[in-house]
């Protein structure tokens, strides 16, 4: 059902929900901001009079190219800043957070956009790479940014937004998730013999959504002043999947040719996430609307809640071992 809904939504015209009044004087950070959805989101924010837009990128040279492109198309200079972060290592995320939180006085929106789509097995920090990048280190980054976002909320009387990019493709990965339900979940996810790498990206987005829902529950906006939501941009023409095998590349390109949004159109869903407000806290957004009714019952029922708590508890244990207090300080 959700795939039928997604297909229908692909053809809906999406509004641009930011303008000068919503962005002037504000600071935003976008990981993976040098291409695709991140680049187009940044372009919109700069055009809408944001004071500072930070592109957090792995490749600094590509970041500079993106910066120049944004400046050329918007006519605004000295707005975009480039910072380095490599989502494949804990240390890079820790270093990025330490530096950026010291440099910036305020943060109005943080978009966890960087991710990978891999269909061959590799590991980062001892974990299958796409699970590590799309789930573990993305949640780590979001958690480490929370104190600064909370500080901004208090100091400037604002409600900053922490946006995670997810995908409703995750809902087709139930059978893959079921392989790792029993026992230590992340050990199962890190078992090459169990993994169907053709469904790995969808699985990472399901696990990420489970974790973010628990993070949002741990950090109610009434206490933190920070809105945490999840945006599913739909199928978009971006560079995602450029490292996939040839067959999968052909399949993805065929789908994109038939029904994909442009990266600019997809970025409008992320802009909505930034302005959706408290009503969106802990919820799924798609097509510039809250779409909690898209979430399948097997994820919301008792067993689904048990799965979410299991994922979260294991993730907390891992992250606390890397940086003690990174999650416990949020309670």
Strand order through the sheet with 52-57:
80-84, 52-57, 27-31, 109-112, 161-165, 227-232, 284-286, 289-290
**201 tagged catalytic:** yes
- Of the residues 67, 124, 201, 280, only one is catalytic, namely 201
**Residue 189 burial by CB count (10 A; 0-12/13-18/19+): exposed, middle or buried?**
buried
Q: How many whole angstroms separate alpha carbon 44 and alpha carbon 150?
A: 25
The tokens of 328 are what?
């416990």
- Of the residues 26, 67, 148, 205, only one is catalytic, namely 205
**205 tagged catalytic:** yes
- Of the residues 49, 130, 152, 167, only one is catalytic, namely 167
**174 tagged catalytic:** no
- Each as own residue / partner, the long-range contacts of residues 188-195 (CB below 8 Å, 24 or more positions apart, any chain) are 189/127, 189/128, 189/131, 190/123, 190/126, 190/127, 190/128, 190/131, 192/121, 192/128, 195/121, 195/128
Question: Would you name the residues annotated as active-site residues?
Answer: 167, 201, 205
């Amino acid at each position: 059902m959700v795939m039928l809904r997604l297909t229908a939504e692909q053809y809906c015209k999406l509004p641009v929900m930011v303008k000068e009044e919503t962005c002037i004087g504000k600071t935003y950070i976008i990981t993976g901001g040098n291409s695709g959805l991140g680049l187009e989101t940044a372009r919109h924010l700069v055009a809408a009079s944001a004071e500072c837009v930070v592109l957090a990128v792995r490749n600094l040279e590509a970041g500079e190219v993106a910066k120049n492109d944004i400046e050329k198309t918007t006519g605004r200079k000295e707005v975009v800043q480039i910072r380095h972060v490599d989502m494949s290592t804990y240390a890079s995320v820790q270093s990025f957070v330490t530096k950026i939180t010291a440099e910036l006085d305020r943060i109005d929106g943080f978009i966890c956009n960087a991710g990978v789509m891999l269909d061959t097995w590799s590991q980062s920090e001892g974990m299958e790479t796409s699970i590590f990048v799309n789930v573990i280190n993305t949640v780590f980054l979001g958690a480490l940014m929370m104190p600064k976002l909370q500080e901004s909320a208090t100091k400037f009387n604002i409600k900053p937004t922490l946006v995670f990019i997810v995908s409703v493709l995750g809902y087709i990965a139930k059978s893959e998730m079921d392989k790792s339900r029993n026992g230590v979940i992340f050990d199962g996810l890190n078992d090459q013999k169990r993994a169907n790498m053709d469904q790995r990206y969808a699985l990472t987005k399901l696990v990420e959504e489970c974790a973010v829902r628990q993070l949002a529950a741990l950090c109610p906006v009434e206490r933190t002043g920070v809105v945490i939501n999840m945006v599913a941009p739909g199928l978009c023409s971006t560079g995602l999947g450029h490292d996939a095998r040839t067959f999968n590349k052909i399949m993805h390109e065929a789908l994109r040719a038939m029904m994909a949004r442009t990266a600019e159109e997809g970025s409008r869903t992320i802009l909505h996430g930034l302005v959706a407000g408290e009503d969106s806290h802990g919820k799924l957004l798609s097509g510039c609307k809250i779409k909690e009714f898209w979430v399948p019952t097997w994820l919301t029922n008792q067993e689904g809640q048990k799965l979410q708590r299991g994922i979260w508890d294991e993730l907390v244990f891992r992250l606390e071992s890397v940086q003690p207090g990174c999650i416990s300080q949020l309670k």
